[in-house]
């Protein structure tokens, strides 16, 4: 049986592992703007789902949604800029 703390550790490990793989591929791979836009859209949907199914109040949920959308757009533009400069943006 897995207890709640163990589930948190496992989730954090898996998320960290996935981020490490993505980070490694991002340092060497070429990617298109459309692929980045799709990745951002999918990430937004995942975060939105987690917020909607959280125990926060509706007011807190709305604030979180606004914050993550601003962060996602800022992160996306930063990635595109760096990839463009390095010649890896298709």
In this model, does residue 80 exceed pLDDT 70?
Answer: yes
In this model, does residue 1 exceed pLDDT 50?
Answer: no
Q: What is the mean pLDDT of the chain?
A: 81
The model carries a pTM of 0.59
pLDDT band at 14; cut points 50, 70, 90? confident
Whether the Cβ atoms of residue 72 and residue 44 lie closer than 8 Å to each other = yes
Report the Cα 5 to chain-centroid distance in Å. Answer: 23
Give the residues across from 31 on adjacent strands.
89
């Amino acid at each position: 049986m897995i207890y709640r703390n163990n589930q948190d550790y496992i989730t954090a490990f898996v998320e960290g592992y996935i981020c490490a793989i993505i980070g490694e591929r991002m340092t060497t791979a070429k990617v298109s703007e459309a692929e980045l836009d799709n990745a951002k859209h999918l990430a937004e949907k995942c975060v939105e789902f987690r917020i909607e199914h959280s125990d926060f109040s509706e007011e807190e949920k709305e604030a979180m949604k606004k914050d993550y959308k601003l962060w996602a757009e800022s992160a996306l533009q930063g990635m595109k800029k760096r990839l463009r400069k390095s010649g890896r943006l298709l």
